[in-house]
Chain A
C-alpha cells in the first residue's frame, strides 16, 4: 500500500504543488514569527548585557513600597556610595543622579509631553558613548540616541536645557549614548551631564542608582556579596551586573512576547485558511480518483488500507509543505530581524539569530496536523467508495450537486439566528469585555453559518450574477454555468478567501470609524488651531495627580510649593492676554479646572469653566437632556456619570473654595467626552475658585484672514515659557491619521498572507477542475470555441468565485466591524470605508485573474484530439 501511495503521489505531484505551497506559507508565518521574536529577545539580551556586564553589581533604591502618587522617589545617599567605594573588593562605585531636565527642541519648547531625564554619566557607569565622548566639562552634554533622533540634534550642536528654576542653559553635544531596551529613559529621552552639572540641572544630590566596578582580580560575585553585606537591607537592593541586564531585558522581552502573540494570531488565520485549501484539494483529488480507489478495493484492499493510504499521502504532503515552510520561516524571520530588529532596540548581529527547537517543532507539527486533519474527512469519504465504482463509466465523476438539502439550510439558518441573537444581546448590553466577547463569538458563529450555507450562497450569488454576466458573451455564460456546477467545491474554495476578506474589512471599518470618531472628538476638544498646555511634571508627586487639582494643592500644607518647579501649574494669564492682544488671533479661550467633592459621598467631581468661549456654540457635547446655551451664573452642565439621580431642573449642592453653593442643572451630557464633570459659568468659577488662575489649556483660533505663518509666530512668542507645549491641531490630526494608517497597513499585510494562500486554493481548484473537464474543453474547442474564449471562460469563473467569496467577507466584515466598534465605544461613529472596500473588490478581481492564469493556459493549450481520445 505504501508503494501504491508513493507511486500515486509521483503521478499526481503536479496537482499537489499548490497545496504544498499553501501549507508552506502558513507554516512559514508560524516559524517566521517564532524565529523573529526569539531573535529579538536574544538581541535585547545582547544589548542590555553588553551594557551591564562591565559592572560587578548595581545598587538600586528599593521601589517596591514606593507610592509615586504621594511620595518622592526614593534615592541613595552619597554616604552610601562612599561606604561601597571603601570596600576592598570594589574598584569604583559611581552614583547616577537623575531627575527632570527638560531639553528644548529646535523650536525652543520643552521636548515631549514629559520632560527629558537628566543623568550624571561617567566611564564607570553602565552608559557608554555610541558616538563621540561622554561630557567632561560643565558645558557639555551627551544625548540618548533616541533623543538625538527625535530632535535632530547631533554631536557638535548646541542645545538648551532648563534648570529647576526654568532657566535655559546652553550645552555642546559631545556624544550620543546608547540607552538600551527596558531602560525607562528609552522613551522619555535623556540628557547626560557631568556629576556636578547634573546636580545643578536636576536639583538632586542623591543617586537613583550606584554602579559598582570590581577591584583588580576580584571576581564579580565576591563584589556583589561584599556590597550586599555592607549596605544591603531595607530600602536598598543589590543586583549583580548580569541580574540587572536580565531585568532590563525582561521588560523588552515582554514586548517581544506581546508581539509574538499578535503575530501568532495572524499566523493562525493563515494556517486555518491553508487547512481549507488542503481540505478542498483532497476532496477534489479523491473524487477524481474514485475509480482508482475502487480498483484498489476490487483487487482486495480493505477500507483501512485505503484510509491509511490517503492519510499517508496527506502526511507526505504536510511534511513537505511544513519543511519548506520552516526553512522559509527561518529565512523570513531572520530577514525580518535583520531589517526590523534595530527599530525595536535590539542589537542586530548574526549571533542573535535564534532558531529554537520550538520554532521548528511548532512549524512542523502545525503543518502536519493541519494537513492530516483537513484530509481526514475526504479520506473517510474515500473509504466508502464501492468496489463496483471501478466498473462504472466516470463520464461525470460524481454528477452534479443539485440538491442542497433541508438539513443544510436549516442548520445554516439556525446558526445565523444564533449569531444574530448574540449580536443583538451584545449591542443591547452595557458594552465592555463581555459584549466584545459576544460580538467575537457571534462573528465566529456567523462564519460557521456561511460555511454551512456556502453552497447555497454560491448558487444564490451565481443566480444573481447570471443576468448581467450572461450579456457578456458565450464564454461568460459558460463560466457562470461552470461556477455553479459544484457549489460545494466552489464554496470551500471561496470560503478561504472569505476569511481574509472578513477580517480585513472588519478591521478597515473599525479603523475608519475610530479615525472619524477621534478626529471628531479632536474637533470638539480643540475647536481651535493651536492649544497651549503645560508640560506634565514628573518630579513633584502632587503634580502627578490630575492636572488642575488646584483646590487641594493650596489648602493642603506647603508640599506643593516646596517642590522645585512651581511654574508647572498651568498656562499663566499673561499668555492669554498676550494672545488676546494679537491681531492675528480671532478668539482665545482658556480652560480652568478644579476638583470638588462630588455630589455623592466619596466621589470627586472635576469642575471646569471656559473663559472666552460660549458653551453650546464654541464647545459642544452630546446632550442627553436640557439645553447647553442655558448655562449661566447659578447654573451648571453636568455629565451623566456624575449626575447620579439628578436631572435637568434639579438644584445641587457643590462644595467650593468659598463654601457651599447651589447650582441648577440646565443640561446633562454624555460621558467621556467634552464637558466632562461639572461645567459652570466663567464668572462664577473665578468667584468660587479664586486660587485657580492658570489655565489647564488655552485654545487659540486664528483670524481666518491672517497668514498661518504669522499666527504660528504669535502663538510661539506668547508661549515663551519653554515648558509650555504648543500643539497644532492640524499637526495632531495628521500625526494621528498617520498612526492609524500605519496600523491598518500592518494588519492588512499580516492578513494579506491568508489572502495569498486563498488565491493558491482557488488556483488549485481551477486547475483540478480544468483537468477534470479536459474532455469538455476539447468538446467546446471542437464546436468552435476559440482558445481565447476558453481562457476567458475560466478567468470569468475564477473572478466570479473570488468576487463572491470576498463579497460575503466584506458583508460580514462590515457588520461585525460595526458591531465591535459599537460595543467598544457607544459614541462610535461608524464609517464604512467605501473606497477601501472598492479596492478590496478590485483586488479580488485581480486575484481571480491571477488564479486562472496557469489553469487557463493549460486548458487552452491541450490538444483537442488527444483530450477527445482520453477516456
Chain B
C-alpha cells in the first residue's frame, strides 16, 4: 500500500464546496449546576465534502466529546449539528441509530472488530445491520486497496494490529458514508503501520472524495490531513491548512503556553 502513496503533492483543499457536516454553537455540559463541566463551549465548525480534517487539542480539550456529538453517539446540550440536510440534535435515539447505520462510518483506536467474526464479515457488518445489498465491486476494490484479500477469512485475533485497523477502515469506507469519523486510528500502531493507515485514509479522501474527520493528539498523524482544527477548553481556537508535523507541533506548543 505504501508503494502507491503520494505524499508529495497534496490536492487542493475543497474550500469552495458546501460543507457535509456543520456544527453551530455546540455546547455539551456534563452534570448540572455548579459542578457541571462544559466539555464543549460554543463550537462552530464545518467539514466540507472530500476533506480530510484532523481535530487536535490537549487532553481534556473536548475533542473526543466533539467527535461523539458530531457522530450522533452522544447528544449535545444545545446548538445544532447538520449532516447534509438533517439536524442531528432534533433526532430521537432510534433515528440517530439509523443515521449512524446509513450515513456515518467509524474507525476507533482499538477494539474495532468483533472477535467472533471473520475479517470479511466484520467489513460487511454495517451493510448487514442495515440490510443493504452489498456492492461487490466496491468491496473487491477496497479489499484490494487495503491489501486484505488473503486475510478475509481470518478472525481478528489472528491478524496484526495494522491488519485489524485496515479491516476497520475498509468497513468504514464500504458503504460510502457521508462522513467517516476516526478516533485516534493509529494510537495503538507502530509508526510504519500507522503511516500506512493514514496514507490510505488520505488517498480515500482524495480519490473517493470521502469526507474524513480524525481525532488525534499526534502531530505526525495530523500532518496527513489537509486541515487541522485546534480545540482547547471546549472551544475551537485555531485552524491550520496543509499542515506539516512541525507546524502542528508549533501551534500546539503555542496553545499549551
Contact with A along B110-127 (1 / 0, CB 8 A): 111011110000000110
A393 to B157, CA, bound (A): 13
Quick one: which of A473-494 are within 8 Å of B by CB?
473-474, 477-478, 481-482, 484-485
Binds A, one of B90-98, B140-148, B230-238: B90-98
Contact with B along A833-871 (1 / 0, CB 8 A): 000000000000000000000000000000111001100
A484 to B118, CA, bound (A): 14
Residue among B71, B97, B131 with max Cβ neighbours from chain A (10 Å)? B97
Contact at A784–B114, with CB atoms within 8 Å? no
Quick one: which of B151-201 are within 8 Å of A by CB?
155, 157
Contact with A along B52-90 (1 / 0, CB 8 A): 000000000000100010010110000000000000000
Contact at A784–B116, with CB atoms within 8 Å? no
B251 at interface, CB cutoff 8 A: no
Chain A residues packing against B (C-beta within 8 Å): 393, 395-396, 399-400, 473-474, 477-478, 481-482, 484-485, 775-776, 779-787, 789, 863-865, 868-869
B108 at interface, CB cutoff 8 A: yes
Q: Which of B111, B130, B155 contacts A395 (CB 8 A)?
A: B111
Chain A residues, Cβ within 8 Å of B106: 782-783
Nearest neighbor of B104 in chain A, beta-carbon distance = A784
Contact at B97–A781, with CB atoms within 8 Å? yes
Contact at B114–A780, with CB atoms within 8 Å? yes
A–B pairs, 25, beta carbons within 8 Å: A395-B111, A399-B157, A474-B131, A477-B128, A478-B114, A481-B114, A481-B116, A484-B116, A485-B115, A776-B114, A779-B112, A780-B114, A780-B129, A782-B71, A783-B100, A783-B106, A783-B125, A783-B126, A784-B100, A784-B101, A784-B102, A786-B97, A786-B98, A787-B94, A865-B73
A485 to B155, CA, bound (A): 11
Chain B residues, Cβ within 8 Å of A400: 115-116, 155, 157
Nearest neighbor of B111 in chain A, beta-carbon distance = A775
Chain B residues, Cβ within 8 Å of A481: 114, 116-117
Chain A residues, Cβ within 8 Å of B116: 400, 481-482, 484-485
Q: Which 8 A-B pairs rank lowest in CB-CB distance, beginning with the nearest?
A: A784-B101, A485-B116, A481-B116, A784-B100, A474-B128, A865-B74, A786-B97, A775-B111
A396 to B100, CA, bound (A): 25
Q: Min CB distance, B212 to chain A, in Å?
A: 16
Contact at A787–B128, with CB atoms within 8 Å? no
Nearest neighbor of B114 in chain A, beta-carbon distance = A776
Contact at A785–B115, with CB atoms within 8 Å? no
Chain B residues, Cβ within 8 Å of A863: 74
A847 to B97, CA, bound (A): 30
Chain A residues, Cβ within 8 Å of B64: 869
A864 to B71, CA, bound (A): 11
A864 to B98, CA, bound (A): 15
Q: Min CB distance, B73 to chain A, in Å?
A: 5
Chain A residues, Cβ within 8 Å of B125: 474, 783
Chain B residues, Cβ within 8 Å of A869: 64
Interface size class of B (residues with CB under 8 A): 20 to 34
Nearest neighbor of B183 in chain A, beta-carbon distance = A868
Q: Min CB distance, B62 to chain A, in Å?
A: 13
Residue among B68, B116, B117, B130 with max Cβ neighbours from chain A (10 Å)? B116
A869 to B30, CA, bound (A): 15
Contact at B97–A785, with CB atoms within 8 Å? yes
A785 to B73, CA, bound (A): 12
Contact at A864–B73, with CB atoms within 8 Å? yes
Given A400-B115, A484-B116: A783 in contact with B101 (beta carbons within 8 A): yes
Nearest neighbor of A870 in chain B, beta-carbon distance = B111
Given A400-B116, A484-B116, A485-B115: A474 in contact with B129 (beta carbons within 8 A): yes
Chain A residues, Cβ within 8 Å of B157: 396, 399-400
Q: Min CB distance, A791 to chain B, in Å?
A: 13
Nearest neighbor of B94 in chain A, beta-carbon distance = A786
Contact at A395–B101, with CB atoms within 8 Å? no
Chain B residues, Cβ within 8 Å of A776: 111, 114-115
Given A396-B157, A776-B114, A779-B111: A784 in contact with B97 (beta carbons within 8 A): yes
Chain A residues, Cβ within 8 Å of B73: 782, 864-865, 868
Chain A residues, Cβ within 8 Å of B102: 784
Chain A residues, Cβ within 8 Å of B74: 863-865
A783 to B71, CA, bound (A): 11
Q: Min CB distance, A801 to chain B, in Å?
A: 15
Chain B residues, Cβ within 8 Å of A780: 114, 129
Nearest neighbor of A783 in chain B, beta-carbon distance = B126
Contact at B130–A784, with CB atoms within 8 Å? yes
Chain B residues, Cβ within 8 Å of A783: 100-101, 106, 125-126, 129
Nearest neighbor of A863 in chain B, beta-carbon distance = B74
Q: Min CB distance, B171 to chain A, in Å?
A: 8
Residue among B94, B98, B101, B110 with max Cβ neighbours from chain A (10 Å)? B101
Nearest neighbor of B126 in chain A, beta-carbon distance = A783
Chain A residues, Cβ within 8 Å of B129: 474, 780, 783-785, 789
Chain B residues, Cβ within 8 Å of A477: 128
Chain B residues, Cβ within 8 Å of A482: 116
A396 to B106, CA, bound (A): 20
Nearest neighbor of A782 in chain B, beta-carbon distance = B106
Contact at A396–B97, with CB atoms within 8 Å? no
Chain A residues, Cβ within 8 Å of B112: 779
